Structures are given as structure tokens and as C-alpha cells.
A = this chain, B = another copy of it.
Amino acid sequence: MSSSERTPDPTRRSERSRRSILSAAFELVSEVGYGKLTIEAIAARAGVGKQTIYRWWPSKGAVVLDAFLARGESEQGEIRLPDTGDIEADLKAVLRPTVEELKDPRYDVPFRALLIEAQTDPTLTAQIVERLLEPQMEATRERLRSARRAGQLAGDADLDVAVELLFGPLYHRWLLRTAPLTERYADTVVELALRALRPAGRD
């Protein structure tokens, strides 16, 4: 038995508080909407003092972003795309759940709110890109790299643009509401993007 199990562990207690705050934020943003969400309400639901939240997060947006990311941690661990050898199937296996998530009010409402906040808060924007969007894009890029090594994509395919060719049309339809966002749409986007990226002469 290590000494840390015999004495109270402040790190562990902090971690419990952190998790309570993030769960409370995630639940509340769905219940009351982002605009009406307050740090006071999050503190009350989490059973902590308001000052605890202010000590760890600079803004409401920062708490909600962490609440989002904490969801990801518990559900997915590190982001990694399947690699079955079939690049089309593997990309569809990522874009379809992304569509489902964007349509799920538990994600749609707070994620939209975060992106609204980000438009006028450059620090939050940078955090969203670095911690929420980039890991997903990098995992996708990694899967595309593997397909390129296998000769399934053109050797000179620009993978930075490729990932935005995949996610861009999804976010465009979701954020601008140009038309209904469906799994069929995600599939078509994958199929078109792959035609764009395959080696010359192969369709």
C-alpha cells in the first residue's frame, strides 16, 4: 500500500471537482442553452464554489469547451480512425457519426454556441482548433497518409486540403443550414473527395 492511499489526496479531490464541473456544464448547456448558462448554475449543480471555477477557467466558453473535450475523452480515448485497408469505408465510418453528432441536440446546441463565442474570442478560437478540431483532422490525415502509402491515393495529394474537403462540406451544411445534413450526404462527400485524391487514371 503506497503512502498516497493512506493520506487524503488533494490531486484526486481536484480531479473529482473538475469532472463534476464539466459534467454539470455539459448537462446545463443542453438544458438551458448557452446564453442562459451561468457560472453560478454550474457551481451549484457541481457542488463547488463559484471561485473554484473562476480559478481554473477564464470564461464560460472555456468551461464549455473543456466539457466537450471531457466527453470525447471518456467515450473515445485518443482519436484514431479505423484502418481496415478500405479507405472509403473507414472515412465513412468517421463522417457518418460526425453527422449524427452534429444533429444530436446534446452536441449541436453547445458546439454551435462555442463557435459563436469563438468568432469574437481569438483565444477560444485557437483552443477550439487546437484541442477539438485539429485532433480529429490529424487522425483523418494520418489515415489518408496510410492510404497514400498503400498507393490508394495520389503521391502528391495535399492532405491538409483533403481533410477540409471532407469536413468542410459537412460543417458548411450544418452551420449555414443550406440543406438537410444526412448520412447519405456524408457518403457522397467521401466518394467525391476520394475521386479527387486517387492516383491519375484510377476511378
User: A-side interface residues toward B, CB under 8 Å?
Assistant: 35, 112-113, 115-116, 118-120, 125-126, 128-129, 133-134, 137, 158, 160-162, 164-165, 167-173, 175-179, 185, 188-189, 192-193, 195-197, 200-201, 203
Contact = CB atoms under 8 A, between A and B. Distances in A.
Given A161-B192, A188-B158, A192-B196, A175 B115 contact: yes
Contacts of A120: 35
Given A172-B172, A203-B201, A165 B189 contact: yes
Contacts of A175: 115, 119, 171, 175
A164 B137 contact: no
A-B interface, 10 closest residue pairs, ranked by CB to CB distance from nearest: A168-B169, A168-B172, A168-B168, A196-B196, A192-B196, A164-B169, A200-B203, A195-B196, A161-B188, A116-B116
11 contacts: A112-B119, A113-B119, A119-B175, A161-B188, A165-B168, A168-B172, A171-B171, A192-B193, A193-B196, A195-B196, A195-B197
Contacts of A197: 192, 195
Given A171-B171, A196-B196, A165 B164 contact: no
A74 B155 CA distance: 46
Nearest to A157: B192
